[in-house]
Structure formats: C-alpha cells, structure tokens
Amino acid sequence: MIVIDDSIKHLNDDYQYGFKDDFNPLYSTGDGLNEDIIRAISAHKNEPTWILDIRLKAFKIYQKLPMPDFGPDLSDLDLSKIRYFQKAADHVSRDWDDVPDQIKNTFEKIGVPEAERKYLAGAEAQYESEAVYANIKKEFKEMGIIFSDTDTALKEHPDLVKAYFGKLVTPQMNKFAALNTAVWSGGVFLYVPKGVHAKIPIQAFFRINAGRTGQFERTLIIVDEDASVNYVEGCTAPSYSEDSLHAANVEVFVKKNAFCRYTTIQNWSDNVYSLETKRASADENATMEWVDGNLGSKVTMKYPSIDLNGPNATGTMLSIAFANNEIYQDTGCIMRHHAPHTSSNVVSKSICKSGGICNYRGTIRMNKEAHYSKSHIECDTIIMDDESASDTIPHNEINNGDSEVEHEAKVSKISETDLYYLMSRGLSETEATKMIIMGFIEPFSNQLPMEYAVELNKLIDYQMEDSVG
C-alpha cells in the first residue's frame, strides 16, 4: 500500500506494515462457510431479501465451480479454515475521532488521516470485513457525489445499488467471484453525477489484521455522462504463519464522455492470497484506466477487464508486479472491443528476484462489430537471478478484417553496459542497480500523484535490498 506518513522514514528488515493489533472483533462467524453462515451475515447486516437471494444463489454456484485450473497452485489454500466475516466496529464513523482508538492508531500508522487532510476529496478505511470510517469533504458532497461503504449505500441508495450490483461481475465468472457474491461485506460505493469532475483523488484503505481472515469487499463505481473521477486504493496485512484470503469484486461503469482512473497499490504480506475479479465498462467516447501495482502477497491472480461498448471508447491498463522470495504474481488484463473505433493500450512491467515468479496473462478480443479498432500490448520483465521466472501468456482474438493488434514482450536481466556506465560515474553496483530499476518502473510511477510515487519508490527500494552480490 502507498503510505503518506512522514513519521515512517526508514524501512527496516521486516515487512513494513507487519505490525499486528491485539484486537478482538465484536462479531465473528468463526471458521468455515455454509448456508447458515451466509444467512447470519445477511441478518446481522439487516439486508433486504433480494440481497440474501443473490447471496444464496451465488453460494450454490460457488460450491459447484472448480478451483482455477491455470496459473499458481492454490492447493495449500484451505477455505474451510477462513473466517468469512468479522466485524470490528458497531458503526461506520463519519468523524475520525469516533473511530475506536486501536483501529484508529493502525490507520494513523499507515497514513489515513494525513492523506485525507492533505490530498483527498474523500477517504474510507476498512478493517477486516467492514468499513470503520467513510467521509467525503463538504464541497464534493455538495456537487452530488455519493461516497460511502457499499453496506451503507445499500441502505441509503437501494435503487441505485440494485440497478448496477452484479451487472458486470457475476457469480458464474469464476469460483472466487461467486464466493465474494455470497459473503461480500464492505467495499466502496462511488457515484459521480453528470458533468461533475472530482479533480482530487478519492481513496480507500483496506486492512486485514487477523490471520485466517477473509476480506471480500464489493466495490461499485458509477461515473455518469461527462463526469470524471480518480479513485485510489491501498491494501496491507500483518505477517502471520496462517494464510489469509482477499477476494474482492469490483464493478466500474463509465458512461458516455466520462473518465475514470482506478489505481490500486497492494502491499499485502506474504501470507495473503489475493484473488480478485475486476471488470469495467466504457460507453461512447468514455475512457477507463486501470493503474495496478502488486508488491506483495503469497499469490496474486488478478486480471482487470474493460468492455469497450461504445464507439471511440478507450481502455488502458498500466501495471507493475514485483515478486520476491518465491511470491507468485499472475496478473494481466482483458480488453473486449465491442464497438468501432475503440482503442486499448496495455503496459505491463514486472520484476522478479530470489525465486519470485511474475507472469503476464492477458486477452484482447476484437468482436465483429469492432471495426477499425486498435490495441497495443507491451510486456517488459527484468529477472534478477537464475532462481526467478517469468512468462508472457497472451490470447489475442480478432473477429474482423480491419482492426489492429500489436503485441511485444521482452524479458531481460540488468544490462551490464548500463551498470558499467553508472558505476564509472561513481555509483556502487547496488546504487546503479536500483537506479536502473527505478527508471524501468518510471512509466508506472509517473501516473501516480507525487506523494504516492515517492512512497512507491520507497517500497521498491525496500524490496530491492540485498539484490546484488
């Protein structure tokens, strides 16, 4: 996760956000999952019947669907030992001073209050299964922007939630999309009205504290016609010997002439399985951008997608993955071109060392109606030792005769020529190596607000320790 707390000035030998809170949840469903637990979650939240019906149908689908048969081995993930719902606070606070002290201290360590005051139009903090804080500044609320946790939106804006919930991400898509739909809790609801431009980022922070915890936020973003928003989220968890699971579902609707940038910086500890389903739609002349950073977790499987539904819609995916110490990053994207004159651009950067694995897995699909459309895919990987590995696994499908798809991939090691040049200018081998890596990720960091880019560089610098020699 990107941190903006100036008090954290040095990165030590331990995972930076691996501190644990001795905090007991107010309510927990315990280990494992069955239909009674799903009913208990829904009843505890006092949800409408239509949501419970969706949950129960999704649970039946989840039970039937197999585990993914590609990518990382998930056989060590014991779903029977996960705690699927843990409530940390009895309500969502609108005032930071009302957040329980122990939880508040946790988020202060990772920079939430300072970020909200200095850089954000709105902020939400989720701890375990539910949001504990959500607030949007007065001037943005007066513009008609709705920003809350998804549970609150379901109570306060039920018709709006019902109109979009589950329209892009369905339980049939994969086992973990079905699991999220059955047990979802928390997440972000963001609606930007027609013609409204949120020029300052809106951000959410997600924290898993206890071991064997499942976090299943459901995020729903609607950017109406001629509107724009920049949404940023960050994620952390302590280091435990017990595995935890993060399986989010995200749906983003970008209407005609609208713009949305969705930035994720995940710095999970190496005991978290991050298995997410993210899907967006872009209407006529709309632009949807995914900016995706993955610097932690035991296993990541994440392939954000964009359906380019309207003429001249644009989709962009810019990602970076860092795999260290046998971490397995299996990431990529899916671009579906459904309309003429649509365009997509994919830039994937990855770095692996000390036995880490970084794979790019992507799909570009040009449908019959997508005449005169274009897509460019660029995958670059730096492998820093003989124990690490990287594969590019593209699937490009063109169903008309006048669209263009370009794909290029490069896997390399640190250039000896570049190292020699920098060392001849007085840098040590370690300093030169870090400088080359920072230049390699510059296309990604340049897309972040300055404060976030600075902290990303700190995280990369931390990951690069002991890379030479």
pLDDT digits (tens, 9 = 90+) for 267-294: 777 888 999 999 999 999 999 999 998 8
Q: What is the pLDDT, as a whole number, of residue 402? A: 96
pLDDT band with cut points at 50, 70 and 90 for residue 6: very low
Tokens representing 34 are 């069955």
Percent of the chain with pLDDT over 70: 78
pLDDT tens, residue by residue, 291-350: 998 887 899 999 999 999 999 999 999 998 888 888 999 999 999 999 999 999 999 999
Mean pLDDT score of the chain: 83
CA 197 – CA 193 distance, rounded (Å):
9
Residues 123/233, Cβ–Cβ less than 8 Å = no
Is residue 260 scored above 80 in pLDDT?
A: yes
- For the segment 378-406, the average pLDDT, to the nearest whole number, is 92
Judged against a pLDDT cut of 60, whether residue 9 lies above it is answered with no
Please tell me the predicted confidence (pLDDT) of residue 115.
60
Answer whether 261's CB lies under 8 Å from 230's CB: yes
- Give dist(CA 355, CA 389) in Å, integer: 7
At residue 454, the pLDDT reads 59
3-state secondary structure of 107: helix
Higher per-residue pLDDT: 39 or 94: 39
Structure tokens at 309: 């539904």
Neighbours of 258 (CB within 10 A): 27
**How far, in Å, CA of 106 to CA of 97, rounded?**
13
What is residue 427's predicted lDDT score, i.e. its pLDDT?
81
Closest Cα to residue 292, out of 283, 280, 302, 284? 302
Evaluate whether 350 touches 320 at the Cβ level (below 8 Å).
yes
Query: Residue 171, Cβ neighbours under 10 Å: how many?
Result: 23
What are the φ and ψ backbone dihedral angles of 393, each rounded to 5 degrees? -125, 85
